[in-house]
Amino acid sequence: MNPEDEPYYHCANNLGGLPSEFKKWRTLSEYRTEWNFLPYALRQRVAEQCMASDYLVSMDSWLNPGLTIGRVQKIVLIQSLSSIYEAVLGELVEREMKEYSKDPFFAKIYEKYPSRDSLTFGPILGFAQSRGIIDNGWASYLGQIKSVRNWTHLTVEQQGPLMEWVGRQSCAQLRVRLDDFRKFIRNKF
């Protein structure tokens, strides 16, 4: 057993009254293997976020929370997933920006955002779509994810349609979409 995985096994074995299917947590190594096309540091962070998101999906299935708690839990899950989407796309965008920094159009963008740290999710999505890294379907979906991530900053009028979208998503569907994204984006690296 990998020493880094030991605390996760320890935690999983001490979950008391949880149904047995929730005690079969995947190890951090398994998540890292799924994302093995990413650089090591990013792969580690993404693996941890995936583990946390699977925990939230499992808790949603087990607890079957009421409307308010379920909505907030789903928002927390989406915010967690948005970190993964942003980090992975940010890595691709940074590579693309460096490659095309000599192009006059991209040189202006590169001046404005000289490093990955200066990019936020919005510009990352715009750049990824303009360069063909993601298609319109992914751009639309990730735009919704980005909006939910900023949910606490939205006005009541802005929250209405967004909450309708959130209501139509299940935690399990959101997690499946992340797996679809991983399979889609793997070929871009």
The residue among 112, 135, 124, 40 whose CA lies nearest residue 85 is 124
What's the pLDDT tens digit per position in 116-127? Answer: 566 788 888 988
Q: How far is CA 43 from the centre of its chain?
A: 12
How many Cα atoms within 13 Å fall on the side-chain side of residue 123? 16
What's the pLDDT tens digit per position in 131-161? Answer: 889 999 999 999 999 988 877 666 666 677 7
* Confidence (pLDDT) at 7: 46
What's 36's DSSP letter?
T
SS (H, E, C) the chain: CCHHHHHHHHHHHCCCCCCHHHHCCCCHHHHHHHCCCCCHHHHHHHHHHHHHHHHHHHHHHHHCCCHHHHHHHHHHHHHHHHHHHHHHHHHHHHHHHHHCCCCHHHHHHHHHCCCHHHCCHHHHHHHHHHCCCCCHHHHHHHHHHHHHHCHHHCCHHHHHHHHHHHHHCCHHHHHHHHHHHHHHHHCCC
Planar angle of CA 7, 88, 86, nearest 5 degrees: 95
* Confidence (pLDDT) at 8: 45
Secondary structure of residue 15 in the 3-state scheme: coil
* Confidence (pLDDT) at 58: 81
Those residues whose C-beta lies under 8 Å from the C-beta of residue 59, and which sit 6 or more positions away, are 73
| pTM of this structure | 0.78
* Confidence (pLDDT) at 55: 85
Q: What is the pLDDT along the chain (189 residues), one digit of tens a residue?
A: 555 544 444 444 445 555 555 555 678 899 999 999 999 999 999 999 999 888 888 877 776 666 677 778 888 899 899 999 999 999 998 888 777 767 776 666 666 665 556 678 888 898 899 888 999 999 999 999 998 887 766 666 667 777 888 888 888 899 999 999 999 999 988
Cβ atoms of 94 and 116 closer than 8 Å: yes
Q: Where are the domains of the chain?
A: 3-186
Buried b / exposed e along 134-162 (16+ C-beta atoms within 10 A): beeebeebbebbbbbbebeeeeeeeeeeb
